[in-house]
A and B are shown apart, each in its own frame.
Chain A
Amino acid sequence: MNTKINDFVIRFANVNGSGSASANGMFAKALFRMGIPVATRNIFPSNIQGLPTWFEVRVSEQGYLGRREGVDIMVAMNAETFAEDIDSILPGGYLVYDNSKPLPRELVRSDVHEIGIPIATMMLPEFADPKQRSLFKNITYLGALAGLLNIEFDVITGMVATQYKGKDALIEPNIRALEIGRNYALEYLQAPLPLQVQRSDAVGNRIMIDGNDAAGLGSVYGGATVCAWYPITPSTSVAESFENHSKRLRIDKDTGHKNYAFMQSEDELAAIGIVIGAAWNGARSFTATSGPGISLMSEFFGLAYFAEIPAVVWDIQRSGPSTGMPTRTQQGDLIGAAYASHGDTKHPLLFPATPKECFDFAADALDLADRLQTPILVLSDLELGMNENLSDPLEWDDSRRYDRGKVLSAEQLDGLETFGRYLDVDGDGVGYRTLPGTHPDKGAFFTRGTSRDEYAAYTESPDAYQRNMERLQLKWQTARGLVPKAEINGRGGRVGVLYYGTTSLPIPEALDKLAVSGIHLDTCRVRAFPFGEEVEAFVADHDLIFVVEQNRDGQMRTLLVNELQTDPAKLIPILYFAGLSISADFIDAQISEYYEEHKLARLTEVTS
């Protein structure tokens, strides 16, 4: 059998709360440290202990980071899901399991290689404590995999040493459990397997980080001083990351006091209220939530839109309502977020696709919110937020200054004849604001919703209302030019593909697959809403555009039709919404099928 190097999908089936996460994480990290590109995916239940959970690692020398269909190696450690786990192995794949108990005959598959390891039996004499036994089971299969897949053993043992630094008593038994597994594989199994890993330099200088962590860190760098939030998966770790990094990076050396405020509020209504109150009073502030929180915050979004208060909101999207599939990924909040709230409201959205972009957008969103004096919603998702992924290293330009937008100082107010909070002085729809307490007798105004004139005086005049609404529309045009531009690639073809956020992950692989069958697509990765001129041009310049997204209703497509008056017929929806992340195989199949059905011309590559 041919040896396949650095190219497989391995899935670990575990029981939630059994301590498998750290062993599985170490597996992925070990390959990463060997320079091999990996993408990790947690598929976990909305539960703390006892339900099935899966961890998938895609190993790809080419650097394909999207999900791939099918499993090559299944590490089946959960009796409850044993049958379906075995079912999901591709023909010719491997089943790694604990054969301390025999495999039920009806589950045996002739097209799958069985690799039985008597883990429980081996643990029995080694660890007296049953808790330890079940914990070290995970480490033991990790050791066995090291042997089976040819993982450099000192990479793993080195990780154990750093992970348990300070808790030295844990290092020795961990190493022992690793060795038990590895020795068994080397002595009793055909190791290494034809599927194996090999040190590579494909990772380059990239780091491995999840999007939420990067977002929290980016908010620290971007100068957020107030974070108010209410726990909800999969967004919680954004706030936690902000706090963790702030605890190290934002403590006053002399006093030990915090140069930030971190407040877990009573609910999302309060979280956004705190953010808006703080931003009104001049602090950079943000919150992180998911769909249900966005629903609750909607009234405040309307107020902030009309009262023109900056706010940054991270929406780490997940599927459906809280009793649906809260721990599955989706891009289902676009329309809800874009037009959230009462009255004529719309909000700029940012769509990060990588952890680095989460970091960058965290700081950019704070700038944009201040510049545009409006809530900015950053739409990430569970896939990006909670899975450790390869990312370009994070960068910060030390010469960068925070853009606090149009805020008048006491000196500037002194130099002004008149001050009108909502006067469009610069013709960009954005007025000048003042912060409370700035000047003894100039610049104070009363913030309310829409019943006000250019000088923030109370009025219910129809003209004043309409003027204000038109100015807000002008501000929206200004936003178009300020939000991150789409990433466009192509060679002037007639057919394109448009995508955003984590849908971008499988795109390079999908394009490679399509190219093999003569389908070449220009690409447009949308990074923000409102759509810039470049998106408008891309849509105009192509006869047909596949809009790939992870929701049922084609929400990005709806926004394109609605905002750009695009002919819906030329926007072909490619929709995946089953809760896992979209795969290249799916995109390839859907687009190929469309080509097939509509007999679209394909190109065969001519190399000159």
Chain B
Amino acid sequence: MTFVSKPRVHHPNLPTNELGLTRRDYEGSVSTLCAGCGHDSVSAAIVQACAELSLPPHRFAKVSGIGCSSKTPSYFLNRSHGFNSVHGRMPSVATGANLANRDLMCVGVSGDGDSASIGLGQFAHVVRRRTNMLYLVDNNGTYGLTKGQFSATNDKGSTSKKGVPNLYEPIDLVSMALQLGASFVARSFSGDKAQLVPLIKAALKHKGMAFIDVISPCVAFNNHGGSTKSFEFVREHSSSVVDADLIFGQPEITADYAEGTQENIAMPDGSTLQLYKIDANYDPHDRIGAMTYVQKMQEQGQVATGLLYVDPEALECHDIMETTARPLNELTEETLCPGSEVLESINQSYR
């Protein structure tokens, strides 16, 4: 099958941004994911964020690993190059891409399998290197593309579609990112545009490693009562139910709740995800505090969402390495090749 891009017919009524572009100019090909998949909401949020920021839509390097989540870079920013690479290795490919041209916005999309299992090592190291990028995980607590096996972000005790309980401790990528030196760490929910879009915008503007863990339910495999990443789970564990437009089955699941409140989201599998939106009193500049906070909430069975930590002053990888301000991929012989005369003196030093 061949997928064609959406026709680029400009709707006269669509608002334009500072570049005179509409949201459609930031879109990608038609998604091939399951209808209602949380990942599509994340792609839409990226489109909206980039359009609202008036970023040139061709100046991105989109990189991903393998998985349903990793397919999504072809569903946004069609004018930019994308690279669907190897399972779990998006971080290294993104690192290379960013080394080659530091002027491009680097957006890496990964899944919980991609980042917390096979790619955990690369995740850890790209974070500690502070590569200047947006690292976004579509976290559905399952391996979507291989049909529903447990992933390492699954909570202990949650059950798979076949009813098998998860016996092992979950890996929390947010806690790891905080510990390993990410200078921007946030968590959100795919269905909560009001929270997710501003977070993506802030992350894109952030210089350095910006990590966002987006809980993004899988409607096909992790949408049953036993899963803690399901829509139902979230909804049921909510203490202050805010207006939420939650629809089971195929349509997209959304959430919209106020700061300082909890939202219980019913996941497609019948379980509920308890989200807690941090409020204005929360200090996002305290890394240790953020680590404690996230852990404490987890202890209470709640998932803290929002901007958990940011350090606008932190150095990014290029600063640390002291590489030239010019993109390395633009340097030519004049800059790169020392020439024959220098070589002659080098020869002499080997005599």
Contact = CB atoms under 8 A, between A and B. Distances in A.
A436 B82 CA distance: 8
A282 B236 CA distance: 50
Interface string A234-276: 0000000000000001101001111111110111011111111
Contact of A437 (B80, B322, B336, B340): B80
A457 B91 CA distance: 24
A595 interface: no
A270 B92 contact: yes
A594 interface: no
Contacts of A479: none
B92 A269 contact: yes
B314 interface: no
Interface string A420-461: 000000000000001111111100111111000100011111
B87 to A, nearest CB: 8
A448 B333 contact: no
B14 interface: no
Interface in B76-110: 78-86, 89, 91-101, 103-104
A156 to B, nearest CB: 16
Interface stretch (B43-51, B203-211, B261-269, B343-351): B343-351
A221 B343 CA distance: 9
Contacts of B93: 273-274, 276-277, 280
Contacts of B331: 223, 225, 259
Contacts of B32: 458
B2 interface: yes
A283 B328 contact: yes
B56 interface: yes
B318 to A, nearest CB: 8
B3 A269 contact: no
A257 B337 contact: no
B61 interface: yes
B26 to A, nearest CB: 12
Interface in A275-291: 275-283, 285
Contacts of B346: 217, 394
B58 A279 contact: no
Contacts of A267: 121
B338 interface: yes
Contact of B324 (A32, A258, A262): A258
A453 B94 CA distance: 25
Contacts of A32: 351
B338 A221 contact: yes
Interface of B is mostly: mixed
Contacts of A444: 58, 78-81
B322 A276 contact: no
Interface in A204-236: 207-209, 217, 220-223, 225-226, 228
Given A265-B92, A281-B104, A402-B333, A439 B58 contact: yes
Contacts of A249: 338, 342
B213 to A, nearest CB: 21
B101 A436 contact: yes
A449 B63 CA distance: 13
B280 interface: no
Nearest to A438: B58
A461 B101 contact: no
A261 B321 contact: yes
A277 B95 contact: yes
Contacts of A394: 343, 346-347
A223 B91 CA distance: 25
Given A273-B93, A277-B96, A434-B81, A265 B339 contact: no
B323 A270 contact: no
B329 A277 contact: no
Contacts of A441: 58, 79
B248 interface: no
B78 A266 contact: no
B329 A283 contact: yes
Contacts of A228: 92, 95-96
Given A263-B99, A282-B101, A257 B347 contact: no
A417 interface: no
B99 A447 contact: no
Contacts of B124: 266
A396 interface: yes
Contacts of B89: 269-270, 273, 300
Contact of B122 (A273, A282, A434): A273
Interface residues of A, number: 77
B288 interface: no
Interface residue tally of chain B, by bracket? 35 or more
A167 interface: no
Interface string A64-93: 000000000000000000000000000000
B343 A436 contact: no
Contact of A281 (B100, B321, B325): B100
A397 interface: yes
B238 interface: no
A414 interface: no
Contacts of B343: 221, 394-396
A366 B96 CA distance: 16
A308 B70 CA distance: 20
B285 interface: no
A266 to B, nearest CB: 4
B229 to A, nearest CB: 27
Contacts of B96: 226, 228, 273-281, 283, 285
Contact of B125 (A252, A265, A279, A285): A265
Interface centre among A209, A437, A457, A461 (most CB of B within 10 A): A437
A263 B2 contact: no
Contact of B329 (A250, A257, A281, A401): A281
A33 interface: yes
A400 B333 CA distance: 9
A510 B82 CA distance: 54
A274 B333 CA distance: 22
Interface string A329-373: 000000000000000000000000000000000000000000000
B2 A225 contact: no
Contacts of B94: 277
A411 to B, nearest CB: 15
Contacts of B333: 223, 400-402
Contacts of B216: none
Given A277-B94, A446-B73, A457-B3, A225 B328 contact: yes
Interface in B122-160: 122, 124-125, 129
A226 B97 contact: no
B1 interface: yes
B83 A280 contact: yes
A226 B4 contact: no
A255 B325 contact: yes
B344 to A, nearest CB: 8
B338 A437 contact: no
B113 to A, nearest CB: 16
A261 B328 contact: yes
Contacts of A223: 331-333, 336-337
The 9 A-B residue pairs whose C-beta atoms are closest, nearest first, are A277-B96, A273-B92, A283-B100, A282-B329, A278-B96, A277-B93, A281-B100, A436-B81, A207-B350
14 contacts: A221-B343, A222-B337, A223-B333, A256-B322, A259-B328, A266-B122, A273-B91, A274-B92, A274-B95, A277-B100, A396-B343, A436-B60, A447-B82, A447-B83
